Structure 1
Amino acid sequence: MLLLVWTLGADSQWCLLLLCLIEVTSTLKYITLSNHYRHSPKPRVIKGISDVNNEYPFAVSLERIKPVILGLQIFRKCTGSLIKDKWVLTAAHCLGPSLKLVRCGNMMLPRNKSRCLVKIRKKIPHPAFKLLVGESDNFLLENDVGLLLIDNVPIKTHGQLHTADYKTFTGRACKYAGFGSIFPEIGTPKEHVQKLLINNKMLLQIGEGVVWNDNSLKKYVKPVIIVAPKPDKKHQAPNIGDSGAPLMIDNRIVGVYSISDKMRKNHTNYSFFTPISPYLDFIRNITNSPDSYLNQLAVP
């Protein structure tokens, strides 16, 4: 069994190496090695709906400078939320070395014409963040919360953080929103690839669910908010590229998307979000810190 451990230790080279491995393996997981095209492109949030009413204007796309697959203009890596001027909340496992840019606004525009594309100045995972990756039925994410210090973006609306204890949310209806990415299978016809590239530029996708309580599933993400799909939308779930996406209750952010139960062999449609209530002090302390302090942080 392969076991990889990511912690914020002194050896930053190991941290960067492991994050590179995570990026490569997570990408390969979504590229079926087949000689035949079998499926048409799917929405990023599976069975999600487009945010045509701009319900989440604070949601941003976290992107690479270079495309993940040569020749295909797919740059999206994760999703985040602008919670304050120059500050984005996301998942700590998103903060790999390839993450360089934050994009918002009209996603249909070419990137070189967007007025809402800025550089990431600092990546700050929670100091106790830990990732264990083993066999497909054996993984663990702990304290999967991170912050990005970015250049100014032309967004006036910030995501508001819910201050209630996440343990009180069981049974509550919730929503989540992600930009996501879709990768082509090997052998995909050219005309379908073009549709896929257009879909990767489309609007934010919204999904719905209910906060669930199942102690048997709490061993994969700690701490965790488990979200089950609604009965009439049982196949709806976050997808690749939605990591870091906001989980919303009462129109406020209660968590960030960490991982789906689809990672396991005998998976369900549950999705795992890291709650933000245990990290409110961390978020406030970092986002209120002077530049002189932030410049001293030994983070990627």
Structure 2
Amino acid sequence: MHFLFPLLVILLQSPGARAGEIIGGWEAKPHSRPYMAYLKFSIENKDSKCGAFLVQEDFLLTAAHCWGSSISIILGAHNIKEPEKTQQKIRVLRAIPHPQYNNQTFNNDIMLLQLEKKAKLNRAVNLLALPRMKDRLRPGKRCTVAGWGCDIAKKFPNTLQEVELKVRKDNECKDKYHKYYNRTTQMCAGDPKERKASFKGDSGGPLVCDRVAQGIVSYGRNDGSNPRVYTRIFSFLSWIKKTMNAHEY
């Protein structure tokens, strides 16, 4: 899969689209989002970071474009620069990107990470619920995104940040991203009137609505403008369950 990444990097640096950062947000209450994981990996010997979230004691979800070598995970973190007692550092046994992931359009931008051992669940480390098949969010629904991604000044915070976003109509992202946007596997969120968005480093984190993971931070314009695109999780429920069952210990 290494041949995919030069193309991916070109796309992310183009005027059209760029992966995940939090703009216009605020610092989250420490450990109020116990499902969040800090993900580090390498692409062509360059360190990169993403978000991920725990959906089973030994599995996390993230974006497929967060795939690389030397993947490491930190659970239970608030300040990723401090050796907090709540942190659990567990090695990744295998990364499983969706087999139909397209690194040029970001379609099927979803990946499972299986841990070498199960995480210990507690107040700082816990699971995030996945949607049911019948769930379909209406435009205007308020949801949140969290991550350690940088702000509009390109500064990366040490502590977890969060922001509230609105679900948008599909045609708003279709008009903005044209051939890249797929309303079946992607969803649109943000508010063009507000300077609030996910941005670089937040990719792979969850779009949470009523304590349920409905989307995964995927891509958007590199100027941080809204709306932005999120992988629609309920479209992949059967793949998620089938894949986790196939890799049980």
Q: TM-score range by the shorter chain?
A: 0.7 to 0.9
Match of 1:12 in 2: none
1:78·1:180 contact (CA, 8 Å) conserved in 2? yes
2:195·2:225 contact (CA, 8 Å) conserved in 1? no
The structure that has the greater radius of gyration is: 1
Alpha-carbon shift at residue 63 of structure 1 (Å): 0.5
- Tell me the distance in 1 between the aligned counterparts of 2:33 and 2:240: 20
Match of 2:4 in 1: 18
Alpha-carbon shift at residue 170 of structure 1 (Å): 2.2
- Selected match of 1:244 from 189, 193, 204: 204
Matched, 1:149 2:120: no
The 5 Å alignment of 1:1-300 reads: 15-20=1-6, 22-23=8-9, 26=12, 44-64=21-41, 77-95=49-67, 97-104=68-75, 105=77, 106-109=79-82, 115-132=87-104, 140-151=105-116, 152-156=118-122, 157-165=126-134, 167-181=136-150, 199-200=156-157, 202-215=158-171, 217-218=173-174, 219-222=179-182, 223-229=185-191, 231=193, 234-262=194-222, 268-291=225-248
Alpha-carbon shift at residue 181 of structure 1 (Å): 4.7
Secondary structure (helix, strand or coil) at the match of 1:153 reads coil
The amino acid that maps onto 2:4 is L
1:209·1:230 contact (CA, 8 Å) conserved in 2? no
The amino acid that maps onto 2:144 is K
Q: CA, structure 1 residues 62+28, in 2 after alignment: closer, same or farther (shift >3 Å)?
A: farther
Q: How big is the alpha-carbon RMSD for the aligned residues of Structure 1 and Structure 2?
A: 3.3
- Tell me the distance in 2 between the aligned counterparts of 1:290 and 1:22: 28
* TM-score scaled by length of structure 2: 0.79
* TM-score scaled by length of structure 1: 0.67
Alpha-carbon shift at residue 272 of structure 1 (Å): 0.6
Q: CA, structure 1 residues 165+143, in 2 after alignment: closer, same or farther (shift >3 Å)?
A: farther
Secondary structure (helix, strand or coil) at the match of 1:161 reads coil
2:42·2:48 contact (CA, 8 Å) conserved in 1? no
Note the residue ranges of structure 1 that are not aligned, 5 or more in a row.
1-14, 30-43, 70-74, 133-139, 186-195, 293-300
The amino acid that maps onto 1:145 is I
Secondary structure (helix, strand or coil) at the match of 2:2 reads helix
Alpha-carbon shift at residue 180 of structure 1 (Å): 1.7
